[in-house]
Amino acid sequence: MPDSKFSSRRSTVYSTKGIVSSTQPLANAAGIKILDKGGNAIDAAVAVAAALGVTETASTDLGGDAFLIYYDNKTKRVSGLNGSGRSAFKLNLEDIKRTHPQDIIDNRLSTESVFSVNVPGAVAAWETAIERWGSGNISFYDALQPAINLAENGYPISEISAHLYQISESKLKSINSIKGEEFLNDDLAKFLPNEGAKAPVAGQLIKNEYLANTLKLLAEKGSIAFYEGEIAQSIVDEVQSRGGALSLQDLRLHSSTTVFPISYEFLGKKLWEIPPNGSGIIALLTLGLIKALAEKHDIRLEDLEHNSVEYLHVIIETLKLSFKDSEEYVHDQEHLLEEFGIRSSETIAKLLDPKSGYFEERSQQFSAYRALNNDDLKVGELPDSTFKSDTVYFTVSDSDGNAVSFVNSVFHRFGTGILVPKRGFFLQNRGANFSLNENSKNFIKGGKRPYHTIIPGLITTPLGDGKEELYASYGIQGGFNQPQAHVQVFLNLLLFGYNPQEAIDAPRISLAPHPKLAHTDKGYGSNGPISRSITVVNIEEGIDPEVVKGLEKLGHSVKVVKGLNRKVFGRGQIIKKESQEPLIYSAGSDQRGDGAAVAFI
């Protein structure tokens, strides 16, 4: 057996019929059950999403959003779905300043503010996905049954999920204390079940009959029960009781959006991402800058050593430039078209066109000898531009060669922490990603989707005539870490030749805004890694200490991260198609999570 390129806890998983890979083994079992009943990758993915809402509520829930990229092996084409929700139509910054000034912190909306609750988009996305791309053998009712069973009969909570509950105790009690002791001892006790309202420990049996009843209602009546029925009323009542603006009309008017994913070709493969308001374009821009540097011979790809000073410096600097550009290009494209008649999709296409000159000009900002200064960074523009303008990830493949890359999220741990009474789920806080700077295209406004960090990824081999061959379905959860990890894992696979498990296990870096410099945030874009004067480079233990010193010499602010704090690097999954005839998949699941890749037989 050949030596791995570094120590892994897990072996690569292989299958000839399909694979489910997620952060929770019980959710994997839900997906496998649906495949066994004749479902395809989409059907199984919805079952996994619902089961994750039960077993990893800190990261995903009915009150969150969802995005997916689907590869159809029959047509050899890629499709996408934007299942993110919009803000309340009556949301207004001046009203917030007047009535809830405490909700504005350092030029941003507090992550616990009731005004950060947008319409939850996940449930509609699940149902839409099954209707649009499902096998026809599995109904929405069928897909929800495993999650219902887990919530109703109970499940033993996993180690990392229990840890997320434990570090969220004070937040959950603080946010929901206004509901009174009876609420804390009943509703909140479903999540903090131990004496003294303490969080569960690993292996403890958890039941949530309120969530089970909610899921049963969805299974029987479909998503209309969530957006127009009694569940909708419960959501609106809770939000408005806290002074929020969300209304029944906001929920009733919600719909998912079918999108054509955007892509960039590098190293003979295409990386596919959901277009803005998703932030996947950051990964594509980063690859474009790296390719431009290589073509100008500023770097020699073949000479770069994995996780060396030179390699990580390239990754850091190109990511910083791309995050800066996200301030200009990641926003609600539909809103911009409706309000100003501007088709930003055309600008995105030009940005990613190698002939536009954008990457060549933008890459000139890179220096091999020093770190970029955030205060000096400007947004990159097209040379001839007329336009200035806590999450779960999982992936599923099936025996027909289809695959889906899926991400579901409530943003921060338990979202806002606002628990909907007698419904058993929390409401997300994605609205905290709006900008409060009126000059930003991501400016907070009613009926608008915010800058979104959750991004599924997919890699294909171009076949010509618009057709693609699946190479890999993958993604890594974790807020602003996601496009950063997409780039690193893409290069692990294609530049360094790692197998799926090695590619996901390899130590990573993750950029973040400096925690002590919130006052330097000017409020553009979102509160990502370059929103403050200094970017912190989180370095995962396992990277050579000499590399850390080398990055510091270049001017980077570096922090070495160990143990459970490694959650900052996210938790990823990969399914790779090894061959079409015969059909063989390989897969890896992140050692930073509780999950696994499970083969369907």
Question: Strand 403-409 and strand 509-513: pairing?
Answer: unpaired
DSSP label at residue 443:
B
pLDDT, residue 386, reads 34
User: Interior CA angle at 39 toward 38 and 43, to 5°?
Assistant: 165
For residue 8, what pLDDT is reported? 57
Q: What is the pLDDT of residue 300?
A: 95
- Cα dihedral value 317, 319, 323, 325, nearest 10: 70
Identify the pLDDT of residue 381.
64
337 or 510, greater pLDDT: 510
Cα(241)–Cα(443) distance, rounded to whole angstroms? 25
Residue among 405, 408, 392, 403 at smallest CA distance from 595: 392
Q: What is the pLDDT of residues 162-187, one digit of tens each?
A: 999 999 999 999 999 999 999 999 99
Alpha-carbon gap, residue 126 to 134, rounded angstroms: 10
- How confident is the model at residue 479, as a pLDDT? 79
Question: How far is Cα 483 from Cα 172, in angstroms, rounded to an integer?
Answer: 29
Listed in order, strand segments (DSSP E) in 145-295 are 155-156, 205-206, 257-259, 262-266, 269-273
pLDDT at 293: 97
**Is residue 427 a contact partner of residue 113, using CB atoms and an 8 Å limit?**
no
pTM for the predicted model, two decimal places:
0.94
373 and 553 Cβ atoms separated by less than 8 Å? no
Question: Quick one: pLDDT band at residue 340, thresholds 50, 70, 90?
Answer: low
**pLDDT value of position 346:** 81
Residues 126-148: pLDDT tens digits? 999 999 999 999 999 999 999 99
Query: Is it the case that residue 251 has pLDDT exceeding 90?
Result: yes
- 505 CB contacts (<8 Å, ≥6 apart)? 6, 8, 9, 10, 588, 590, 591
Q: At what angle do helices 281-295 and 481-494 cross, to 10 degrees?
A: 50
Poorest-pLDDT segment among 28-37, 84-93, 321-330: 321-330
pLDDT at 391: 66
pLDDT value of residue 388: 33
Q: How many CB atoms lie within 10 A of CB 329?
A: 25
Q: Please state, for a pLDDT cut of 70, what percent of the chain lies above it.
A: 96
DSSP string covering 514-533, please?
-TT-GGG----S-S-TTSSS
The string of pLDDT tens digits covering residues 283-333 is 999 999 999 999 999 999 999 999 999 999 999 999 999 999 888 888 888
User: What single letter denotes the amino acid at residue 58?
Assistant: A
Q: What is the pLDDT of residue 522?
A: 76
Nearest to 400 by CA among 50, 76, 25: 76
Q: What is the pLDDT of residue 195?
A: 92
The chain-wide mean pLDDT, for the chain, equals: 92
pLDDT reported for residue 308: 97
pLDDT for 384: 42
